[in-house]
Amino acid sequence: MKKIEIKASLTVYDSLDELSEDVKALMVKAVAARKNAYAPYSKFRVGAALKLKNNEIVIGNNQENAVYPSGLCAERVAIYQAGALYPNVAIETIAISASSDVFNVLTPTPPCGACRQSIFEYEENQKSAIEIYFMGETGKVVKADSVKDLLPLTFGKATLNNI
């Protein structure tokens, strides 16, 4: 028997102003996208903006449903849209921002477990890391260099194919 440790590394920025101009512009698009979320039930709005290798930007926001589990998170709306529009183009960066209609979201909001799993599928296929930046409404921004820092034990096609 032995214990193992799993390391994850994240970078924390004090505000949007510490980001590069490109990433800041992408986060501004995520903030704009979150305003158009359809979130009448949770009143929690999430926006995501992806930058692709061909320089296209694809956005998404959460889309809820009266049958709650039928809704979809912002991150998956965005990556599936990217997969639909540009099937063979790598995703370089994802920017995520969350706000609420009923309280101030002041802590950085990471993608949920299901979104991490979905992002991993794309990362594994494209064979290059996807940088993930996430924030609340304002304030600190956190960066993961790869979804593997948020989901260290991955289950993917390699697991299924024993490769």
Please report how close the Cβ of residue 144 comes to ligand THU at its closest, in angstroms: 13
- Alpha-carbon distance of 56 to 132, in angstroms, equals 17
- Alpha-carbon distance of 100 to 136, in angstroms, equals 9
Of the two residues 71 and 83, which places its CB atom closer to ligand THU in the complex? 71
Q: Which residues bind ligand THU (CB under 6 A)?
A: 39, 42, 44, 46, 62, 64, 71, 73-75, 111-112, 115
Instruction: Return the HEC string of 46-86.
Output: EEEEEEECCCCEEEEECECCCCHHHCECHHHHHHHHHHHHC
Interior angle at CA 153, CA 152 and CA 154, nearest 5: 105
Of the two residues 101 and 158, which places its CB atom closer to ligand THU in the complex? 101
Is residue 18 among the annotated active site residues? no
Please report how close the Cβ of residue 70 comes to ligand THU at its closest, in angstroms: 11
- Alpha-carbon distance of 34 to 62, in angstroms, equals 8
Of the two residues 8 and 114, which places its CB atom closer to ligand THU in the complex? 114
Please report how close the Cβ of residue 104 comes to ligand THU at its closest, in angstroms: 16
The single residue of 5, 64, 75, 123 carrying the catalytic annotation is 75
E strand or H helix at 110, and its extent? none
Of the two residues 23 and 74, which places its CB atom closer to ligand THU in the complex? 74
Please report how close the Cβ of residue 134 comes to ligand THU at its closest, in angstroms: 9
Catalytic positions, please?
Answer: 75
